[in-house]
Amino acid sequence: MKARRREPRWREGWWAGAHAHPSPNRGPRPGAEPPSLVVLHSISLPPGVLRGDAVQRLFLNTLDTGRHASFASLRGVQVSAHFFVRRDGSVLQFVATHERAWHAGVSIWRGRENCNDWSIGIELEGLEGRSFAAAQYRMLARLLRAIAAQHPIAEIVGHEHVAPARKRDPGAGFRWSRLSRSMRGAGLAIWPRMPGAR
């Protein structure tokens, strides 16, 4: 009987723990710079509605903007994130990690603009200000450790930190202290800084 071959954790920027859905909304990183920042977001479409396929369709440019009144402002919008962590902890990946996804928009961190150039974007299914599921925290920690083993990640921040004038996600409902505890020993700086986080 032939031995079963183990699937690699990563293949050309795609994580084996995620369902791959390649988005057209991507591009090369300037100078092929490896990502050193992770930006966390929250999203639900329509706002507050969970477990549908609208977010996936938005990132794939297949969203029917006539399907709901709140989608009208999304007509012609081209956005993406590297990963989308659903309420049940399942993960979808839309862009390879060595490529640039279109998630942060006009942004700045530590004096440097255009965070998309050197960051990985992770969307959490949810609404800013509301709580997130335990399965999401568990999977997020696992995903972050996998990313940090593959790329020189130094910091984890929220969209609200890199675009404070425009964005408030993941918002007050996201428990940074919980993430910090689950990532202890990973050597990553998590913002806002928590006791014991480096």
* SS3 at position 60: coil
Domain boundaries, given as residue ranges, for the chain: 10-44+80-190
Buried (b) or exposed (e) across 41-76, using 16+ Cβ within 10 A? Answer: bbbbbeeeeeeeebbbbbbbeebebeebeebeebee
Predicted confidence (pLDDT) per residue in 33-89, tens digit: 999 999 999 999 999 999 899 999 999 999 999 999 999 999 999 999 999 999 999
Query: Is the domain 10-44+80-190 a CATH 3.40.50.1950 member?
Result: no
pLDDT of 4: 58
Q: Prior bond to 46 cis, omega within 30? A: yes
Active site members: 123
Predicted confidence (pLDDT) per residue in 118-169, tens digit: 999 999 999 998 999 999 999 999 999 999 999 999 999 999 999 999 999 9
pTM of the model: 0.93
Separation of alpha carbons 189 and 23, rounded Å = 29
